[in-house]
């Protein structure tokens, strides 16, 4: 999967799960997930072309290790977003 395709998939996942999670009612959860998304996009910018399967596995391992705790009661915690993105990567 190319970097551009990965970025597009992350954006779609963010929008899709945001709609499911009712983020308009969950600003703390939205901000926490936005931080994770920005980290993912920064990490992907380091690659040119298509990362190897091994590099993608390493990225998912790093992303799963992120611990960003939302303030308040988040209906959609960041780890659910990370898991959604990584599952798509692993299946592709």
Q: In whole angstroms, give the CA distance from residue 79 to residue 27.
A: 16
Residue 70 has pLDDT above 90, yes or no: no
* Containing structural domain, residue 10: 3-91
- Asked if 77 and 32 count as a contact pair (C-beta separation under 8 A), the reply is yes
Q: In whole angstroms, give the CA distance from residue 63 to residue 21.
A: 20
Q: Is the pTM of this model over 0.85?
A: no
Q: Summarize pLDDT for 71-85 with one digit per residue, the tens.
A: 666 556 788 889 999
**Domain tally, the chain:** 1
Q: Summarize pLDDT for 12-46 with one digit per residue, the tens.
A: 988 887 766 666 677 777 788 888 999 999 999 99
Mean pLDDT over residues 39-60, rounded? 92
Structure tokens at 6: 């990965």
């Amino acid at each position: 999967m190319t970097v551009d395709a990965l970025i597009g998939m992350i954006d779609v996942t963010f929008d899709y799960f945001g709609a499911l999670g009712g983020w308009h009612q969950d600003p703390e959860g939205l901000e926490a997930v936005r931080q994770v998304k920005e980290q993912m996009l920064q990490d992907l910018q380091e690659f040119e072309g298509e990362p190897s399967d091994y590099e993608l596995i390493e990225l998912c391992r790093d992303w799963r290790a992120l611990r960003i705790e939302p303030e308040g009661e988040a209906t959609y915690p960041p780890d659910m977003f990370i898991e959604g993105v990584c599952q798509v990567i692993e299946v592709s």
